[in-house]
Amino acid sequence: MAKKDYYEVLGVNRDASEGDIKKAYRKLAMKFHPDRNPDKPKSEEQFKEAKQAYEILSDAEKRTAYDQYGHAGVDPSAAAGAGGFRSAGGDFSEMFGDIFGDIFGGGQRSNVYRGADLRYNLEISLEQAARGTETRIRIPTMEECATCHGSGAKPGTEPTTCPTCGGHGQVRMQQGFFSLQQTCPRCHGSGKIVQSPCSTCHGAGRLKQHKTLSVKIPAGIDEGDRIRLAGEGEAGLNGGPAGDLYVVIHLQPHPVFQRDHNDLHCEMPISFTTAALGGEIEIPTLDGHAKLKIPTETQSAKIFRLRGKGIRGIRSSSTGDLLCHVAIETPVNLTARQKELLQELEAINVKDGGRHNPRAKSWMDKVKEFFES
Ligand SMILES: [Zn+2]
Ligand SMILES: [Zn+2]
């Protein structure tokens, strides 16, 4: 997979102005941003590609270097991309930080890269989050080839020293007034040449594989929390260390509870008779049931707080509360007899001058005053 021309990636001419480049990048970044394309893994690649192109072309110095020397002038891993796998450096700015040291400083560099970090989105239930759990996940990853142990050479053979660079991975070229050091085009910086490639990985040294990992999820974990599995990301390149795997927690919606940090909220519908006369009701909690006393004359939207019936936080020693929000249910499907009883009740209410419904009465009084003034 040859690296695409940065101007082509952004869809601009070689003499495009800074403003045009910025505009083109913005458009692509909006289109391919991974958050906008969660089900299209390809768009992440396109996003990165555009970002990389922009980082080079928006910087006058880097753009000049790119115009003169192409990818080799700005990205030492560009050559590694030709091997059929994407470059492993996660942070481009970090990668570019030493480009000029490389070209102008003449420092020795080996083409060793840390593997990319991986992200895995894991959905768990609220109960699992509250109690903690252990689960197995299957992830695609670039693993060191077991046949050649990452060397890319057929078993029994050894990679030989690259004759072009003498094993340094870098070659010196005379460019005008100064001597330019760049990644060896023959060995792509590894300093070694694989004469007979490993038949399992075709010389790449890494293979796309799936692995199953066991993940311990601590009790109290919340939406968006990340669990880092060190060294479980992609394998490194040319002996570089592996990246990390981040398991990002997502909570499934719960039929009864909504979580707010360590507190739980639930709606608690009660009949209008229970609200008026009081009573005791059974309410669900994460670990069973609890009894709740409803006092007489309970009003709509009242919140009952059950201390310690929430979730014990992962970072705090205290346990949250369960907050039950009262929703008084107006009776439905009334029989003729029930209607008769309610009408009788209402007649008494009216006769008593509204003292059984003080809120409704004071509101009506205010409304009257407003229209009479
Ligand atoms: Zn191999
Ligand atoms: Zn070489």
In tens, the pLDDT along 23-41 reads 888 888 888 877 777 777 7
Higher pLDDT, 36 or 97: 36
pLDDT for residue 109 is more than 70: no
Q: Which residue has the tokens 């594989």?
A: 209
Instruction: Check: CB of residue 150 under 8 Å from CB of residue 235.
Output: yes
Span from the CA of 199 to the centroid of ligand 1 (angstroms):
6
Q: Report the pLDDT averaged over residues 198-202.
A: 91
Q: Which ligand is nearest to the CA of 162?
A: 2
pLDDT for residue 78 is more than 70: no
State the Cα–Cα distance between residues 106 and 84, nearest whole angstrom. Answer: 28
Q: Is the pTM of this model over 0.85?
A: no
Q: Report the pLDDT averaged over residues 173-182.
A: 76
Span from the CA of 346 to the centroid of ligand 2 (angstroms):
95
Question: pLDDT for 47-62, tens place per residue?
Answer: 888 888 888 888 887 8
Q: Which ligand is nearest to the CA of 199?
A: 1
Tell me which DSSP letter residue 242 carries. Answer: P
Q: Which ligand is nearest to the CA of 191?
A: 2
Question: pLDDT for 240-252, tens place per residue?
Answer: 888 999 999 999 9
Span from the CA of 144 to the centroid of ligand 1 (angstroms):
8
Span from the CA of 207 to the centroid of ligand 1 (angstroms):
8
- Identify the pLDDT of residue 206: 84
Most confident of the following: 26-30, 131-135, 176-180, 239-243: 131-135
Span from the CA of 88 to the centroid of ligand 2 (angstroms):
20
**Nearest Cα to Cα of residue 43 among 25, 29, 27, 55:** 29
Q: Which ligand is nearest to the CA of 169?
A: 2
Span from the CA of 196 to the centroid of ligand 2 (angstroms):
16
The total number of residues shown for the chain amounts to 373
Dig out the tokens for 243 from the structure. 């990246």
**Which stretch of DSSP H or E encloses residue 365?**
helix 358-372
Q: What one-character-per-residue DSSP string does 302-329 give?
A: -EEEETT-S-B-SS-SSB--EEEEEEEE
The region that residue 242 occupies, defined by phi over 0 for left and psi between -120 and 50 for alpha, beta otherwise, is: beta
Q: How many CA atoms lie within 13 A of 244 on its CB side?
A: 8
Question: pLDDT for 289-307, tens place per residue?
Answer: 999 999 999 999 999 999 9
Q: Which ligand is nearest to the CA of 198?
A: 1
Q: Which ligand is nearest to the CA of 183?
A: 2
3-state secondary structure of 35: coil
pLDDT for residue 371 is more than 60: yes
